Structure 1
Amino acid sequence: MQNRELEGRVALVTGASRNIGRAIAVDLGRGGARVLVHAHRDGDAAEETARLVREAGGEAAVALGDLADPAVPARIVEAAISAFGGLDILVANAAIRPEGTIESLAYEDWRAVMALCLDSVFLLAKAALPALKASDQAAIVSIGGLTGHSGASGRVHVISAKAALAGLTKALAHDLGPDGITVNTVAPGLIETQRSGAEPAHHASRTNVLGRRGSPEEVASAVRMLAGPSMRYVTGQTLHVNGGALMV
């Protein structure tokens, strides 16, 4: 019999139109959650994710918006609450990962990455707090990255933002622990995804002890676990899903 440990729970997954975000939304739906599928602008892809969530056994609705705009995170949170009557699980997955040396980066490039990869997580969590505090099993899970811990060349803005997520996770875990809200980060390594641009240069030198890339579904399993009722004593942690590329 399929495990429905998230039955009745409401989840918001940002950046869920494809790849890791889509896999997370579908797996949460498989667990019984009602999922608000967020995407920046690709409504067709978001609707396809919603269809897959329903096919997996969950309920789904869609909301679009640019989370780099400080006014949008609160609107997306409100869309989840309006669609399903509350919010128990916030998964902050939306990100951009451009490359460029520090010599080539303008301050605007730096701010664009920070706005989406870091600032939006703070704004989403802040907007979601009233609903999360009303839940008896609230969880925030952000999606970090291997290079935020190992480093890499040509990504100073991305690596800084992803490293900061680990700090934000610890800070929020301290602040929200008294309310029973767990806060964790999942940091994927090399994952087999569909890319719209060229393969990042640093991938050529990455190896791990398992000798393969991970799948979006393997990352999604870690998120579902941290969002579920069996992990209520785990908070402030970064869970690495990287095939042994980095062991901490």
Structure 2
Amino acid sequence: MSESPSPGWVLVTGAAHRLGREIALAFARAGWSVLCHYRHSQAKALQTQQLVRAAGGICELVSIDLARPDAAAQLLALCTEVVGQAPRCIVNNASIFEADDAASASAPVLAQHLQTNTVTPLLLANALAGWVQANDAGAPHGHYSVVHVLDQKVHNLNPDYFSYTVSKLALAASVALQAQALAPLVRVCGLSPGLMFLSGPQTQDNFDRASRVNLLREPIKPADVAACALFIAGNTSLNGCTLQTDNGQHLVPLARDVMFAIDENPAS
């Protein structure tokens, strides 16, 4: 009996570490070949590549700064140059996460967050649809997909990390719109995780407490979030929706970001 063919290539942006690595490994274990994108973290990207290969998968590295205005077109071109085709799935995981608030937000910082976290992911999805139209228009509807990684913050607003939140709100609001625009060539879905890793100035003690501020009172498992990205890629009935993979964190409203709220109100 011949082996089943690979599901295809997945491009995971920011796959060098943290959630991006988990997503890359989840796809690899399911038989996908992985394009691991990174910006500066080459050593960590090489570790991801080694882990994928140790799991029996195929992994190629691609590097570009997603803040570049031409990043989306250049990244897709690089992917097709490396593997001879566009990825069947793109997981837009990479993002900038810099601390500011409404009073301190500046035009350059807002523009940087919007370019990396919103504009490039949207244009990358558009570029994939253009490639499919030109090169594989006969593919089954639903075959190609894009997963925009969001944040539970877009469903549970607080004013901290203002520029980051604005950029993710814009991306979240674009999921259904882009799904309509790119149908039937490419499906577009969102994925909203909660707190999974140490962030910014957070201490380990703060993380240990903050990571349980959700309905299940348990830390969110990155592998579970990664499994949902894989589920979206494989389930052709999903389009224009967002999966909230946060242990119900978005249903626990806080006046501030959880890492700050947990110290201001230790009993929360």
Q: Provide the TM-score with structure 2 as the length reference.
A: 0.82
Are the equivalent residues in 1 in contact too, given 2:39–2:64 (CA < 8 A)? yes
Are the equivalent residues in 2 in contact too, given 1:148–1:161 (CA < 8 A)? no
Cross-structure match for 1:146: 152
Relative to structure 1, the CA distance from residue 219 to residue 5 in structure 2 (aligned partners, 3 Å threshold; closer, same or farther) is farther
Deviation at 1:246, TM superposition (A): 2.5
Are the equivalent residues in 1 in contact too, given 2:220–2:246 (CA < 8 A)? yes
RMSD: 2.3
Cross-structure match for 1:184: 189
Are the equivalent residues in 1 in contact too, given 2:102–2:159 (CA < 8 A)? no
Q: The residue matched to 1:47 in structure 2 has which SS? A: helix
The CA distance in 2 between the partners of 1:208 and 1:154, in whole Å, is 18
Cross-structure match for 2:221: 215
Q: The residue matched to 1:178 in structure 2 has which SS? A: coil
Cross-structure match for 1:21: 20
The CA distance in 2 between the partners of 1:55 and 1:131, in whole Å, is 31
Structure showing greater radius of gyration is 2
Q: Provide the TM-score with structure 1 as the length reference.
A: 0.89
Cross-structure match for 1:199: 202
Question: Gaps spanning 5+ residues in structure 1: where?
Answer: none
Tell me if 1:41 matches 2:40. Answer: yes
Q: Which of the numbers 224, 234, 238 marks the counterpart of 2:238?
A: 234
Deviation at 1:177, TM superposition (A): 1.9
Are the equivalent residues in 2 in contact too, given 1:176–1:182 (CA < 8 A)? yes
Instruction: Count residues in correspondence.
Output: 239
The code of the aligned residue for 2:25 comes to V
CA offsets per residue over residues 151-206 of structure 1, 9 Å max, x none?
Answer: 12222211111111122110111112232x21101000121x255x3129999597
Q: The residue matched to 2:182 in structure 1 has which SS? A: helix
Are the equivalent residues in 2 in contact too, given 1:37–1:61 (CA < 8 A)? yes
Q: The residue matched to 2:148 in structure 1 has which SS? A: strand
The CA distance in 1 between the partners of 2:119 and 2:5, in whole Å, is 28
The code of the aligned residue for 1:124 comes to L
The CA distance in 1 between the partners of 2:18 and 2:167, in whole Å, is 20
Q: The residue matched to 1:246 in structure 2 has which SS? A: helix
Q: Which runs of 4+ in 1 moved over 6 A?
A: 200-203
Cross-structure match for 2:99: 99
Are the equivalent residues in 1 in contact too, given 2:187–2:238 (CA < 8 A)? yes
The code of the aligned residue for 2:153 comes to T
The CA distance in 1 between the partners of 2:71 and 2:16, in whole Å, is 17
The CA distance in 1 between the partners of 2:70 and 2:8, in whole Å, is 26
Deviation at 1:108, TM superposition (A): 0.8
The CA distance in 1 between the partners of 2:11 and 2:162, in whole Å, is 29
The CA distance in 2 between the partners of 1:73 and 1:43, in whole Å, is 20
The CA distance in 2 between the partners of 1:155 and 1:96, in whole Å, is 11
